[in-house]
Amino acid sequence: MRSVTVLGATGSVGTSTLDLVEREPERFSVRALTANRDVEGLAAAARRTRAELAVVADESCLPALREALAGTSTRVAGGRDALIEAAAGADWTMAAIVGCAGLEPVMAAIAGGGTVVLANKEPLVSAGELVLAAARASGATLLPADSEHNAIFQCFDFDRPDRVRRIVLTGSGGPFRDWSYDAMRGVTPDQAVAHPNWSMGAKISVDSATMFNKGLELIEAARLFPVPHDRIEVVIHRQSVIHSLVDYVDGSMLAQLGASDMRVPIAHTLAWPDRMATPMPPLDLVALGRLDFEAPDETRFPALRLAREALTAGGARPAILNAANEVAVAAFLAGRIGFLEIAAIVADTLDRYDPPAPVTLDAVLAVDAAARVRTVERMKDGVA
């Protein structure tokens, strides 16, 4: 039996992971579940799975969690230190905490030397070299749960990476792929979180709408796969059936196809190197009928350009990009800024803040914190 920890158990990725785990209770035991503030969701998941430990990141929620799990065998804890401690010790860990808040728990999980599945982009974007070095040091196995990177992982020849000509990341284009720039000025948070193909949390849905999601994935792919940055491309694929492709020097192109459901890539990581059944029906290619592709429009969606520039520059730039985007998205969801201001705010923060490259985890967190402060200050001043 494989022990499992889910960091971010009440989010969309966490609930999809637990759906699969609960279907095969003889195969998996749940060591720890964590959430930020969702006591009700966390307690319900802990009861269903008989989790050994439940941790709420917001320590003020600990009394409510303790009461919700009274009479069970599940231990409870709260706060940052408890979250980091909970991340270590499982055979298989799902890292699905949104934002840079997940960086320290991910590093703790990697230090344990087990299998760590990355569903949150921020650790590789903000601290990619540190994350990869930690995995090499501990012997941990890193697996990508993002549908795009998981697709590449399944198609990539790691024994002969020099035979890979390019990687092609696919993206749906989000809900505004056909909108004019002027029309996007009036986009509301409700419109931005209504993704046409995927069911996701609010932050990642907005990232998909701005295409920052694809920009972050570009940086992540550069960390995960030994291919030069300029050989990683992005195409819009409206149906979200082909999740990414690997192009080889002989002209062969391998693609992974699947339903627009996170349980497909999560199942791959849960069972890897084996396979496991999911509740997904087989793809009906005849009913699907067609697969469409088009180039992304970087004029309407400048996030891709900003991400590629940050990747090329290296150093602290990806961490600044990520931090500024998190702050700007939160402000948009709260109704304080407009949709098109998200990219403008990120670009402005990148222009105004250029610290030395961080070489430790504490330095990465310091860059992240400083970038957030500067982004907030700029929003108070107004963005042109």
CB 41 within 8 A of CB 33: no
At 384 the pLDDT is 44
pLDDT of residue 382 exceeding 80:
no
Pair (108, 219) in one structural domain: no
Q: Is there a domain that residue 226 lies in?
A: yes
Instruction: Look up residue 117 and give its amino acid.
Output: V
Rg (CA), the chain: 20
CB 6 within 8 A of CB 96: yes
Beta strands in the chain (DSSP E): 2-7, 28-35, 53-56, 75-78, 92-95, 115-118, 141-144, 164-171, 232-236, 242-248, 253-257
Mean confidence (pLDDT) of the chain: 95
Tell me which residue of 27, 148, 186, 15 sits closest to 91, measured CA to CA: 27
Residues 6+ apart with CB under 8 A from 372: 323, 324, 326, 327
Pair (29, 51) in one structural domain: yes
What is the distance between the alpha carbons of residues 46 and 52, in angstroms, rounded to a whole number?
8
Pair (96, 72) in one structural domain: yes
pLDDT of residue 203 exceeding 90:
no
Pair (185, 296) in one structural domain: yes
In tens, the pLDDT along 245-273 reads 999 999 999 999 999 999 999 999 999 99
CATH code assigned at 366 = 1.10.1740.10
Pair (132, 193) in one structural domain: no
Q: Is there a domain that residue 265 lies in?
A: no
The answer to whether the Cα torsion of 130, 131, 133, 134 is positive or negative is: positive
At 198 the pLDDT is 66
Pair (376, 335) in one structural domain: yes
Pair (209, 305) in one structural domain: yes
Q: Is there a domain that residue 151 lies in?
A: no
In tens, the pLDDT along 316-374 reads 999 999 999 999 999 999 999 999 999 999 999 999 999 999 999 999 999 999 999 99
In tens, the pLDDT along 150-201 reads 999 999 999 999 999 999 999 999 899 999 999 999 999 999 998 777 667 7
What is the distance between the alpha carbons of residues 339 and 188, in angstroms, rounded to a whole number?
7
Label residue 350 left, alpha or beta by phi (over 0 means left) and psi (-120 to 50 means alpha): alpha
Q: What percent of the chain has pLDDT over 70?
A: 98
Task: Using DSSP bridges, classify how beta strands 242-248 and 164-171 pair: parallel, antiparallel or unpaired.
Answer: antiparallel
The answer to whether the Cα torsion of 238, 310, 370, 121 is positive or negative is: positive
Pair (187, 86) in one structural domain: no
CB 350 within 8 A of CB 317: yes
At 96 the pLDDT is 94
pLDDT-derived band of residue 383, with 50, 70 and 90 as boundaries?
low
Please report, for residues 102, 173, 252, 304, the alpha-carbon distance to residue 94 in angstroms, rounded to integers and kept in the order given: 11, 26, 33, 27
In tens, the pLDDT along 1-53 reads 999 999 999 999 999 999 999 999 999 999 999 999 999 999 999 999 999 99
The answer to whether the Cα torsion of 159, 162, 163, 166 is positive or negative is: positive
How many structural domains is the chain composed of?
Answer: 3
Q: Is there a domain that residue 275 lies in?
A: no
pLDDT of residue 204 exceeding 90:
no
At 196 the pLDDT is 75
pLDDT of residue 63 exceeding 70:
yes
At 194 the pLDDT is 87
**Burial of 37 by CB count in 10 Å (0-12 exposed, 13-18 middle, 19+ buried)?**
middle
Q: Is there a domain that residue 18 lies in?
A: yes
Which pTM was predicted?
A: 0.93
**Burial of 275 by CB count in 10 Å (0-12 exposed, 13-18 middle, 19+ buried)?**
exposed
Pair (171, 303) in one structural domain: yes
At 324 the pLDDT is 97
Q: Which residues on neighbouring strands pair with residue 257, listed in sequence order? A: 242
**Owning domain of residue 374:** 314-384
At 148 the pLDDT is 96
Q: Is there a domain that residue 279 lies in?
A: no
Length, in residues, of the chain:
384
CATH code assigned at 24 = 3.40.50.720
Pair (89, 187) in one structural domain: no
Q: Is there a domain that residue 351 lies in?
A: yes
In tens, the pLDDT along 101-126 reads 889 999 999 999 999 999 988 899 99
At 120 the pLDDT is 86
Pair (305, 190) in one structural domain: yes
Pair (294, 183) in one structural domain: yes
Q: Is there a domain that residue 86 lies in?
A: yes
Q: Which helix (H) or strand (E) covers residue 328, if one does? A: helix 317-333
What is the distance between the alpha carbons of residues 88 and 109, in angstroms, rounded to a whole number?
5
